């Protein structure tokens, strides 16, 4: 540390730090326009001038490093005059006829001009040379008249997003801000993260609509409702409505950075289609039973008591008539930890079944199962910051990170820019490949052969960590023997990756440690999902990449709270914290806590049904009642025609939702829930960090938070059963989600030390947090694995369930796109939807030519599989290799790729093989 004096105060600052940051750390604000602590310094606005004793001239605090013994003055008449002069220089090129009258928050520039009394020359209010709205971007307004050339936007785009959308063009007085080579932002490959607007100090770049929405009256810090990165930000609130998202510089995961969905995808919260009152089908209200095959009748809006009484009566009737296992519960990775906890408590304590699951089954069930076998814990071992900041090499396999986990994707680009060796293994040439040292383009469904091939070369070259293997692992010999058969020549034949590429990747990954492996659904959504994960665990065990920053196994969880929903036991085989239902001690703990000795149902040791099994069973009426909280199987499950038939035939479906989703068509009772901005609670992000979610606005109409709905339903069910369990963990009278969190902590060793006060204080709590004084565990497996020794498992390549043939000659692989989210029920009802308004299929130019599909904006195609068809716009591109097409599942009806996907599952994790099936393509003329 360096000791210095600023404004007469003694200050300690890290060596090499900038004066402006040292002052900020001591609570002394030095004004600046071009500087921001998250960006590379540039020192061009001269607003941060300070006096330093012994120096002849004032110095810019944003470009001057601290020195021992420095004596700095940040305010004096001379300094104020220098700052005023700097501001007036900027004002000379600033043209804003609305100066001082903006409805949006006062810009930093306006604030400092007012503060220092910078004079605004009359000419400033003359019409300037540039257009006031110069770019057609649908989310960001560009007003070059207000640009002072501080270049913060240029650096925000480059330093945070890893893009180069903005630059300064021209010379001297003709210098101006320009997108790309003079085109539009989107032509310059803008990813619409809005960092440029968030960092702009003048409002030259601004969120479209921010002015019309008006100045927020309050800011409420909460967590993004989309992906598992878990970015936090402030919701700006005015007159009871969210009016914008504002970056919060203290956001622990993301700082000022957000992606397009986080920054601009919030407006669905006030969509006119939001559900405002409970609805019941007419026949149910009239007490008529629907005959098998009879379509559901019209909706009737009812009050909460009527809806909850009918729901409880129906669920209890089914339980008595057909037994507890005739009921199923789909919990939700979009909902809070507290809500997921209550949903599985409802299933187990009140009904007595383990039939509870959620969409983790469809994304990372194989990760959880595989890593439990290998390491004893199914979660991400490290944090995103340490992977991006400390790894010397990173293998990203089966993760389109810049589109699916965009803020972390941008961190990976920055990691490559600082010198980390990035190897991307993906059948598609995804955007991240541009930052990679190597792209391994293996065929879909050949991950095991690829990873075994890497391991073959690790052992063949003696690159394994023998000491680590000897002390911390078991079972290496079987793997060494198995991978002997995965010679580069054989791997090239199976995967299509040239031998030289495999060799280069093996050397990069093995000789640059720590090395982190990152994966997502490209690994997990296969019939070999669990062996795929085991292969990656083998690689990291062999290289000793555990227990240190920048290493580990790093599965990126999809939804905002899919990690939390799993942690909460919304799974058919475990209680909270992965305590198995098959474990007598765990059952005894919950039986005692939940008072299951009161004559009500007990919790069985047999795991319940999974998501896909429940849907099938509902269709065949083995399952008589299905309760769904915020999930949308009618769009997101594989082989949708089959799913829709099953849901249509289900005896009783109770749905809690915020919007009329595709699944609502099949519901008998629809209960309006609250969106993320309307409730309190916690989410757990992909790196096991538990974060506070805060209510910013009230739910619309009579909508209620899901935790309150579940609790009210449980109360009614218990009353009908003649039970009244009470006590700290047995009852259902919760005043707030904080009380539910306290109950979770009491029953869950890994959450035992987590409470509302610690989270409110801003503590970074990565579970396990076994005690109130425990600081949390950002890195797992430091000295020992959760299971003791890390276990190697020999795994072999196996073909996917369905491969192309003469009738269906193309291989379809599926995923998401940047702006949409899952079934896009939210993003289709948001301004972000304008960036991707229709379904799209990527097809290689050779394949397009082969079917006579002409290039052009209007090209459309039809994909057909053995199960259904899809109609979409065609993107003819070599992003996909020849023989492979890629589609997304964001659009309903004929636009959804899940019409085509196959219900073949990994035998252990029961995850469907979304990533591979066989299709044929035909050009469409309309
Ligand atoms: Fe939200 Fe994920 Fe985007 Fe962050 S990266 S803003 S959490 S969608």
- With the CA atoms of 485, 487, 909 and 792 taken in that order, what torsion angle do they form, in degrees rounded to the nearest 10? 70
- Across the chain, mean pLDDT equals 92
Please say whether the beta carbons of 194 and 821 come within 8 A.
no
Is 264 close to ligand 1, i.e. is its CB under 6 Å away? no
Cα of 193 vs centre of ligand 1, distance in Å, is: 10
Per-residue model confidence (pLDDT) at position 886: 96
What's the pLDDT at 98?
72
For position 105, what pLDDT does the model report? Answer: 66
- The three-state secondary structure class of 812 is strand
Q: Whose CA is nearest to atom 6 of ligand 1?
A: 262
Q: Please tell me the distance between residue 276's alpha carbon and the centre of ligand 1 in angstroms.
A: 27
pLDDT in tens, 800-831: 999 999 999 999 999 999 999 888 889 999 99
As a whole-number percent, the residues of the chain with pLDDT over 70 amount to 97
**Residue whose CA is at the smallest distance from ligand 1 atom 3:** 259
Instruction: Identify the pLDDT of residue 481.
Output: 97
Residue 249 to residues 38, 233, 625, 758, Cα–Cα distance (Å): 9, 8, 47, 20
Dig out the tokens for 163 from the structure: 């893009």
Note the pLDDT of residue 104.
64
260-284 mean pLDDT: 96
Residue with the two structure tokens 């967590």: 223
Residue 121 has pLDDT above 90, yes or no: no
pLDDT at site 125: 58
**Distance (Å) from CA 822 to ligand 1 centroid:** 14
**Tens-digit pLDDT profile for residues 435-479:** 999 999 999 999 999 999 999 999 999 999 999 999 999 999 999
| Res. 126: pLDDT tops 60 | no
Residue 258 Cβ inside 6 Å of ligand 1? The answer reads: yes
The CA 228 to ligand 1 mean position distance, Å, reads 7
Query: Are the CB atoms for 784 and 472 separated by under 8 Å?
Result: yes
pLDDT in tens, 714-733: 999 999 999 887 778 888 99
Residue 262 beta carbon below 6 angstroms from any ligand 1 atom: yes
Contact 751, 577 (CB under 8 A): yes
User: 565 CB less than 6 Å from ligand 1?
Assistant: no
Give the C-alpha separation, 784 to 780, whole Å: 9
CA of 161 from ligand 1 middle (Å) equals: 13
Other beta carbons within 10 angstroms of residue 73's beta carbon come to 16
Average pLDDT estimate for 375-398: 96
Residues in the chain: 926
β partners of residue 60: 49
What sections of 704-752 are H helices per DSSP?
A: 706-721, 737-747
- Ligand 1 midpoint to CA 832 (Å): 13
687-708 in b/e burial notation, b at 16+ Cβ within 10 A? bbbbbbbbbbbebbeebbbbbb
Q: State residue 740's pLDDT score.
A: 97
Is residue 526 within 8 A of residue 800, CB to CB? The reply is: yes
Residue 873: pLDDT over 90 = yes
Element at 835 (helix H, strand E): none
State residue 122's pLDDT score.
Answer: 64
What is the tens place of the pLDDT at every residue in 411-429? Answer: 999 999 999 999 999 999 9
- Measured in Å, residue 404 CA sits from the centre of ligand 1 at 9
pLDDT surpasses 60 at 620 = yes
Query: Can you give the pLDDT at residue 332?
Result: 95
From the list 908, 779, 744, 762, the residue with the least C-alpha distance to 379 is 779
Number of neighbours of residue 287 by Cβ within 10 angstroms? 7
Q: Is the CB of 256 under 6 A from ligand 1?
A: no
The pLDDT value recorded for residue 164 is 92
Which atom of ligand 1 lies nearest, measured to the CA of 223? Answer: 7
Cis peptide before 768 (omega within 30 of 0): yes
Alpha helices in 442-498, H assignment, sequence order: 447-460, 466-472, 476-483, 488-495
Region of residue 180 (left: phi > 0; alpha: psi -120 to 50; beta: else):
left
pLDDT of 696 above 70: yes
SS3 728: coil
As a whole number of Å, the end-to-end CA separation of the chain is 69
Summarize the confidence of residues 833-862 as an average pLDDT.
90
Which residues, other chains included, contact 460 with Cβ-Cβ below 8 Å and sequence gap of 6+?
none
| Residue 251, ligand 1, Cβ within 6 A | no
Tokens encoding 839: 């379904």
């Amino acid at each position: 540390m360096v000791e210095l004096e600023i404004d007469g105060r003694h200050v300690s600052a890290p060596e090499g730090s900038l004066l402006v940051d040292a002052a900020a750390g001591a609570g002394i604000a030095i004004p600046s326009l071009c500087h921001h602590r998250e960006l590379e310094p540039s020192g061009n606005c001269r607003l941060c001038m300070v006096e330093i004793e012994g120096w002849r001239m004032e110095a810019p605090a944003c470009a001057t490093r601290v020195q021992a013994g420095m004596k700095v003055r940040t305010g004096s008449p001379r300094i104020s005059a220098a700052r005023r002069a700097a501001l007036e220089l900027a004002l000379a090129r600033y043209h804003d006829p609305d100066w001082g009258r903006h409805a949006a928050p006062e810009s930093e520039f306006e604030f400092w001009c007012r503060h220092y009394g910078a004079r605004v020359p009359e000419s400033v209010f003359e019409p300037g040379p540039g257009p006031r709205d110069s770019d057609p971007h649908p989310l960001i307004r560009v007003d070059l008249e207000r640009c002072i050339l501080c270049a913060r936007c240029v650096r925000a785009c480059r330093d945070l997003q890893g893009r180069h959308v903005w630059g300064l063009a021209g010379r001297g007085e003709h210098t101006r801000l320009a997108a790309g080579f003079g085109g539009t932002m989107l032509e310059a490959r803008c990813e619409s993260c809005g960092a440029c607007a968030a960092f702009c100090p003048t409002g030259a770049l601004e969120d479209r609509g921010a002015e019309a929405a008006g100045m927020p009256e309050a800011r409420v810090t909460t967590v993004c409702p989309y992906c598992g990165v878990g970015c936090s930000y402030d919701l700006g609130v005015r007159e009871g409505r969210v009016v914008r998202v504002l970056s919060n510089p203290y956001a622990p995961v993301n700082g000022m950075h957000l992606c397009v969905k986080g920054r601009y995808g919030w407006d669905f919260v006030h969509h006119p289609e939001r559900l405002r009152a409970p609805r019941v089908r007419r026949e149910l209200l009239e007490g008529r039973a629907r005959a098998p095959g009879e379509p559901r009748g019209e909706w009737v809006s009812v009050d909460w008591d009527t809806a909850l009484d009918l729901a409880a009566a129906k669920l209890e009737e089914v339980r008595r008539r057909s037994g507890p296992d005739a009921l199923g519960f789909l919990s939700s990775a979009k909902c809070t930890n507290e809500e997921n906890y209550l949903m599985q408590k409802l299933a187990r304590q009140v009904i007595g079944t383990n039939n509870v699951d959620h969409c983790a089954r469809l994304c990372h069930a194989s990760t959880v199962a595989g890593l439990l076998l290998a390491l004893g814990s199914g979660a991400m071992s490290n944090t995103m910051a340490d992977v991006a900041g400390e790894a010397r090499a990173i293998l990203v396999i089966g993760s389109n990170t810049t589109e699916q986990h965009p803020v972390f994707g941008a961190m990976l680009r920055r990691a490559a820019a600082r010198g980390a060796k990035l190897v991307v293994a993906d059948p598609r040439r995804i955007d991240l490949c541009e930052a990679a040292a190597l792209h391994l383009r293996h065929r879909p469904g050949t991950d095991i052969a690829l990873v075994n091939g890497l391991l073959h070369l690790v052992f063949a070259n003696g690159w394994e960590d023998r000491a680590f293997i000897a002390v911390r692992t078991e079972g290496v010999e079987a793997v060494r023997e198995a991978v002997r058969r995965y010679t580069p020549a054989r791997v090239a034949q199976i995967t299509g990756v040239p031998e030289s590429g495999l060799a280069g990747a093996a050397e990069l990954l093995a000789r640059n440690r720590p090395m982190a492996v990152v994966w997502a659904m490209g690994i997990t959504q296969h019939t070999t999902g669990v062996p795929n994960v085991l292969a990656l665990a083998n690689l990291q065990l062999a290289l000793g990449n555990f227990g240190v920053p920048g290493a580990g196994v790093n599965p990126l969880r999809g939804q905002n709270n899919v990690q939390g929903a799993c942690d909460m036991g919304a799974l058919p085989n475990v209680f909270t914290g992965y305590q198995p239902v098959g474990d007598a001690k765990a059952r005894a703990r919950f039986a005692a806590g939940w008072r299951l000795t009161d004559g009500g149902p007990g919790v069985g040791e047999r795991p319940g049904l999974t998501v896909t099994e429940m849907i099938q069973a509902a269709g065949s009426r083995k399952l008589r009642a299905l309760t769904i909280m915020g999930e949308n199987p009618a769009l997101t499950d594989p082989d949708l025609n089959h799913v829709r038939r099953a849901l249509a035939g289900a005896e009783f479906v109770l749905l809690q939702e915020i919007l009329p989703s595709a699944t609502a068509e099949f519901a008998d009772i629809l209960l309006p829930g609250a969106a993320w901005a309307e409730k309190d609670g916690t989410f757990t992000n992909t790196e096991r960090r538990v974060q506070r979610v805060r209510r910013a606005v009230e739910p619309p109409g009579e909508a209620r938070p899901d935790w309150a709905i579940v609790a009210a339903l449980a109360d009614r069910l218990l009353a009908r059963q003649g039970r009244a369990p009470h006590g700290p963990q047995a009852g259902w009278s919760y005043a707030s989600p904080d009380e539910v969190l306290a109950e979770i902590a009491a029953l869950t060793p890994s959450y035992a030390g987590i409470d509302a006060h610690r989270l409110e204080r801003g503590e970074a709590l990565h579970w396990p947090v076994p005690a109130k004084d425990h600081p949390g565990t950002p890195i797992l497996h430091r000295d020992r694995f959760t299971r003791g020794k890390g276990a190697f498992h020999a795994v072999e390549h196996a073909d996917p369930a369905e491969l192309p043939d003469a009738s269906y000659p193309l291989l379809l692989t599926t995923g998401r796109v940047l702006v949409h989210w899952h079934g896009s029920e939210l993003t289709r009802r948001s301004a972000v939807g304008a960036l991707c308004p229709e379904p799209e299929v990527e097809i290689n130019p050779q394949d397009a030519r082969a079917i006579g599909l002409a290039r052009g904006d209007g090209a459309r195609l039809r994909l057909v599989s053995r199960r259904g068809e899809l109609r979409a716009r065609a993107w003819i591109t070599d992003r996909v290799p020849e023989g492979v097409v890629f589609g997304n599942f964001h659009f309903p009806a004929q636009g959804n790729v899940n019409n085509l996907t196959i219900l073949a599952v990994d035998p252990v994790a029961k995850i469907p093989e979304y990533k591979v099936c066989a299709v044929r393509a035909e050009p469409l003329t309309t």
